[in-house]
Amino acid sequence: MTSCLPIGNGQFGATLMGQVAVDDVQFNDKTLWSGKLGGLTSTADYGSYLNFGNLFISSHGMKKVTDYVRYLDINNAVAGVQFCMDGVAYRRTYFASNPDSCIVIRYTASQRGKISTTLALMDQNGGYVRYVVDKVNQATITFDGQIARQKDGGAATPESYCCTARVVTEGGKVRKNAKGLIEVSNADCMTIYLRGLTDFDPDAPEYVAGSGRLASRAAATVDSAQRKGYAALLAAHKADYRSLFDRCQFTLGDSKADISTPQLISSYRDNPHDNLFLEELYFSYGRYLLISSSRGISLPANLQGIWNNSNTPAWHADIHANINVQMNYWPAEPTNLSELHRPFLDYIYREACVRPSWHRFAKDMGHVDAGWTLPTENNIYGSGTTFADTYTVANAWYCQHLWQHYMYTMDREYLRTRAFSVMKSAVDYWLRKLVKASDGTYECPDEWSPEHGPTENATAHSQQLVWDLFNSTRKAIKVLGDDMVSRTFRDSLAGCFARLDDGCHTEVNPADGQTYLREWKYTSQFDNPDRVGVDEYRTHRHISHLMGLYPCSQISEDGDMTVFRAARTSLLARGDGHGTGWSLGHKINLNARAHEGLHCHNLIRRALQQTWSTDVDERAGGIYENLWDAHAPYQIDGNFGYTAGIAEMLLQSYNGKLVILPALPTDFWTKGAVKGLKAVGNFTVDITWAKARAEEIRIVSHAGTVCVVKYAGVADDFKLTAGDGKPLAYECTGNDEISFPTVKGGVYILVSK
């Protein structure tokens, strides 16, 4: 998993090693799990994301080859292998098509009759594989099976799965060999159409239905792909993928991609300044991975996206709810991939408002007979584990994503029909759960600050998240109208919000005399080894008490500056030189919100250091040679955290203003451009800069709301025009701030004078 190249259509994907003699195509579907339905269980029993299978393609007569190249073209989502042998040029191409719901593999050669292979399909869950020669130029390989599952009362209906691989050649011959495997001899080219399916059905009582139709569905998929033909499949795949990927582009100076990725990583380690292409490549790779792992069925990308070659993956490759799955979706809105947020958001809606388990967990975990909540460790069947079972504030964190999607899209119908009912139900939970403290404020009782320290009332983490939930819900009611809820609910929410502890307490560190944000209201983070640990305020991978700084918006320069400075001091104390891959990504976003461009870049350089460790080792954070994030081991959230962090360094809009280049690392990013970032209020923003100063800011308004732009010297040093060049007036609304009305579809350009 540290060297493979990933492809995926959002739900079904594969990893490619690119070996010449034996080509191993390992594949997954997001829905193939073992596990338990119903109530909470132990970490050992709630299940795991499973390896679906492997397709092994053994090429005959492979000797020493030359001119070997293995590549992943993220501009087109196409992977490939090229090499020469005995004067013949061989090419292998791979892609995972979303429009046609299958993986396509193509083998060609520069001379006719040079493709000779043996194909073996392996079910990694023990099923029998069937090999059938359909005709002289076609074969079909299939397997199917079931995964046992449990529920509270015993055995549940098993989850069924099925896989079909169609092998088609031009020229040559297809037959079964003495071992019963498919053998291709002397073909001009070979194309394989591969699809794995399960009967996972999120709306069925036990999350599975239609097992009897799996074989016909898989066969229909490969039949349709074969009829369409390779050229048409590839064209449709590229058009579909590029409609998403091309929306947002990030470039730094005149950086170029003219060396291999391993060499680029090595050169960057020795000289980051001259190898900035790695920084822009890693940004784009995060968007590629999100497109490839978050489409289709309403399930989020898990700890490994959709790629997993083990039936015992680290942390079960689960849906981890105390930062990890949330981080997977941090880049979705700002980097113009809003549709890819929906599988996660629709999953939240289903489990919170339609299915029973999360309502049950409100009582089982929170001891509250209202609303919903969820555990930290989750499978795809609405269940999870008792790990950290006092941590129930993930419901408020999930709601932050629902509200963010509305704020970026301004989709009122989505807010009314999907997001609001989830948010209101979470508020119902907390209105019952909160307790009144001796200081007269309302506190979240017995909460944890992931993942260390004591369990106690009013952790900064829980209070800031509930503050954000209540604040967003009040804003949603204002958008939708008072008749969305009862007056009793409105009054209860307003009264509780007014007296809610905001989680923004401070304390002085006796070691340096500086003021820090408290992580626990009643327990000091300093000199407290029995309760917190030694120096964890400087070393711990989680930064759970800064939720109000990022991803929420409670703490900012536009708010209480004492709190903002305390949060920044706490953040900087965590340091730039250590952390798991995802922790480094988290700190990039936090430092961007703190306008610490230099520290952002320190963290970028640390995040892009190669690691080789595949054991659980939080000291080995970085990247592998295939640019997957290392916790270690491999964990995809750090890829997404980095991409979101770059966007946050270039544009912030969380407080209703377009803040331009708020955390630019001026010593490194002196020249660059970003196109297609999205902002709150449904604006699309392009920025070009040189000598570390913005030169042009292009804004497209998709909702026709007032636009506020904040940038040093924007009122005096820039002129505002419409898209047709017509000068426009604006109002100065603050220090380095201007405001102007927009119309839906209008283009507005700020150019440096």
Q: What is the mean pLDDT of residues 161-180?
A: 98
Examine the pLDDT at 258 and tell me if it is beyond 90: no
Q: Is the pLDDT of residue 577 over 90?
A: no
Q: Write down the pLDDT at residue 533.
A: 83
Q: What DSSP character marks residue 727?
A: B
Taking each helix axis from N to C terminus, what angle separates 581-593 and 561-574, rounded to the nearest 10 degrees?
150
Question: What's the CATH number of domain 5-246, 3.40.50.460, 3.40.50.300, 2.40.50.100, 2.70.98.50?
Answer: 2.70.98.50
| Token pair belonging to 671 | 């020249």
Report how far residue 749's alpha carbon sits from residue 379's, in angstroms, rounded to the nearest whole number: 47
pLDDT at 75: 98
The domain segmentation of the chain, as residue ranges, is 5-246, 293-502
- Contact between 524 and 510 (Cβ < 8 Å): no
Position 215 scores a pLDDT of: 97
Amino acid at 444: C
Q: Sign of the C-alpha dihedral, residues 694, 695, 701, 704? A: positive
Coil vs helix vs strand at 282: helix
Residue 187, strand partner residues: 115
Residue 522 has a pLDDT of 96
CA-to-CA separations, 463 to 491, 536, 544, 706, in angstroms, rounded: 20, 21, 11, 32
- Cβ atoms within 10 A of the Cβ of 111, count? 12
pLDDT by residue (tens digit) across 172-191? 999 999 999 999 999 999 99
Tell me, what's the pLDDT at 208?
A: 98
Please give the average per-residue pLDDT across 579-599, as a whole number: 97
In whole angstroms, how far apart are CA 51 and each of 13, 225, 546?
11, 24, 36
Q: Is the predicted pLDDT of residue 254 greater than 90, yes or no?
A: no
In this predicted structure, the answer to whether residue 229 has a pLDDT above a threshold of 90 is: yes
- State the pLDDT at residue 465: 98
Could you give the 3-state DSSP secondary structure of residue 467? helix
- Mean pLDDT calculated for residue range 569-580: 94
pLDDT at 509 over 80: yes
Q: For 128, which DSSP code? A: P
Query: DSSP for 628-694?
Result: -EESSSB-THHHHHHHHHHHHHHEE-TTSSEEESTT--TTT-SSEEEEEEEETTTEEEEEEEETTEE
DSSP-assigned beta bridge partners for residue 377: 320
Over residues 473-495, the pLDDT tens digits come to 999 999 999 999 999 999 999 99
Q: What pLDDT score was predicted for residue 220? A: 98
Contacts of 153 (CB under 8 A, 6+ apart): none
CA 728 – CA 725 distance, rounded (Å): 9
Q: Convert the pLDDT of each residue in 288-320 to its tens digit.
A: 999 999 999 999 999 999 999 999 999 999 999
- Tell me the per-residue pLDDT of 414-456, one tens digit each, with 9 for 90 and over: 999 999 999 999 999 999 999 999 999 999 999 999 999 999 9
Q: Taking 90 as the threshold, does the pLDDT of residue 241 lie above it? A: yes
Residue 669: band (very low, low, confident or very high) from pLDDT cuts 50, 70, 90: very high
Per CATH, 5-246 and 293-502 having the same topology is answered no
Q: What is the mean pLDDT of residues 735-741?
A: 95
Residue 257 has pLDDT above 90, yes or no: no
How far apart are the C-alpha atoms of 524 and 503, rounded to whole Å?
14
| pLDDT tier, 390 (very low <50, low <70, confident <90, very high otherwise) | very high
Task: Give the three-class secondary structure for 408.
Answer: helix
pLDDT (mean) for 233-247? 98
Cα distance between residue 637 and residue 330, in whole Å? 9
254 versus 13: the higher-pLDDT residue is 13
CA distance 738 to 517: 32
What pLDDT, on the 0 to 100 scale, is given for residue 689?
98
Q: Note the pLDDT of residue 618.
A: 86
Of the pLDDT bands very low, low, confident and very high (cuts 50, 70, 90), residue 622 is very high
Q: Does the structure show a pLDDT above 90 at 549? A: yes
Q: For position 255, what pLDDT does the model report? A: 74
Per-residue confidence (pLDDT) for residue 535, from 0 to 100: 87
In which region does residue 594 sit, left (phi positive, over 0), alpha (psi from -120 to 50) or beta (all else)? alpha
With H, G, I as helix, E, B as strand and everything else as coil, classify residue 298: coil
Q: Which of 630, 742, 729 shows the shortest CA–CA distance to 679? A: 742
User: Residue 460 class from Cβ within 10 Å (0-12 exposed, 13-18 middle, 19+ buried)?
Assistant: buried
Distance CA 2, CA 6 (A): 11
Q: What is the pLDDT of residues 70-89, one digit of tens each?
A: 999 999 999 999 999 999 99
Alpha helices (H) in 485-596, listed in sequence order: 487-498, 536-539, 561-574, 581-593
> What residue type is 363 in one-letter code?
K
Identify which of 293, 50, 53, 215 has the alpha carbon closest to the alpha carbon of residue 149: 50
Going by pLDDT thresholds of 50, 70 and 90, the confidence category of residue 256 is: confident
Over pLDDT 90: what percentage of the chain? 97
Please provide the average confidence, as pLDDT, over all residues in the chain.
Answer: 97
293-502 CATH pick, 1.10.357.10, 3.40.50.1820, 1.50.10.10, 2.80.10.50: 1.50.10.10
Query: What's the pLDDT at 99?
Result: 98
Q: What is the pLDDT of residues 186-222, one digit of tens each?
A: 999 999 999 999 999 999 999 999 999 999 999 999 9
Q: Give the mean model confidence (pLDDT) for residues 373-400.
A: 97
Separation of first and last alpha carbons in the chain: 50
Mean pLDDT score, 143-169: 97
For residues 750 and 718, the answer to whether their CB atoms sit within 8 Å is yes
Q: How far is CA 442 from the centre of its chain?
A: 33
Q: What is the pLDDT of residues 675-729, one digit of tens each?
A: 999 999 999 999 999 999 999 999 999 999 999 999 999 999 999 999 999 999 9
- Residues with Cβ within 8 Å of 481's Cβ and at least 6 positions away in sequence, in order, are none
Give exposure, 567-588, as e/b (b: 16+ Cβ within 10 Å): bbbbbbbbebebbbbbbbbbbb
Unique residue bearing structure tokens 């609405």:
382
Query: Which residue do the tokens 């500056």 mark?
Result: 561
CA distance 736 to 714: 6
Cα–Cα dist 671/592, whole Å = 18
pLDDT tens per residue, range 624-668 = 999 999 999 999 999 999 999 999 999 999 999 999 999 999 999
- Confidence band for 110, pLDDT divided at 50, 70 and 90: very high
Task: Give the CA distances from residue 292 to residues 16, 225, 271, 644, 743, in Å, rounded to whole numbers and listed in that order.
Answer: 14, 19, 31, 17, 34
Asked if the model's pLDDT at residue 617 lies above 80, the reply is yes
